[in-house]
Amino acid sequence: MKTVTQNIRLDAYANRILEVTKAVYGLPNKSEAANRIIREFGPKIIEPEINPEVARHVLKDTAEWERKYNFKRKMTLKELEEL
């Protein structure tokens, strides 16, 4: 994984969080503590990419379900997207 050097300003609270994280996990420095926090909470902020194969499978299953149960949309997809 590519590393990036970054200078950041932290308030006292953020600095304390890094210090505590560093101590709790026995990390060598605050950079590793920041990486640990980001790896833990990053997925909650950034949605993971959808696997194209999974998306195709879901769309196929949905279409089959609609045919099987004779599902008729009351609203077009375009109308739904405009909401």
Q: What pLDDT is recorded for position 79?
A: 86
pLDDT averaged over 10-residue windows placed end to end, the chain, 83 residues: 89 97 97 96 85 91 91 82 86
Q: What pLDDT is recorded for position 80?
A: 84
pTM of the model as a whole: 0.56
Q: What pLDDT is recorded for position 47?
A: 80
Q: What pLDDT is recorded for position 64?
A: 93
Domain boundaries along the sequence of the chain: 12-82
Phi-psi region of 70 (alpha: psi -120 to 50; beta: other; left: phi over 0): left
At what angle are helices 12-24 and 30-45 packed, to 10 degrees? 100
Written as one string, the DSSP assignment of the chain is: -----------HHHHHHHHHHHHHTT-SSHHHHHHHHHHHHHHHHSPPPPPHHHHHHHHHHHHHHHHHTT---SS-HHHHHH-
Q: What pLDDT is recorded for position 1?
A: 73
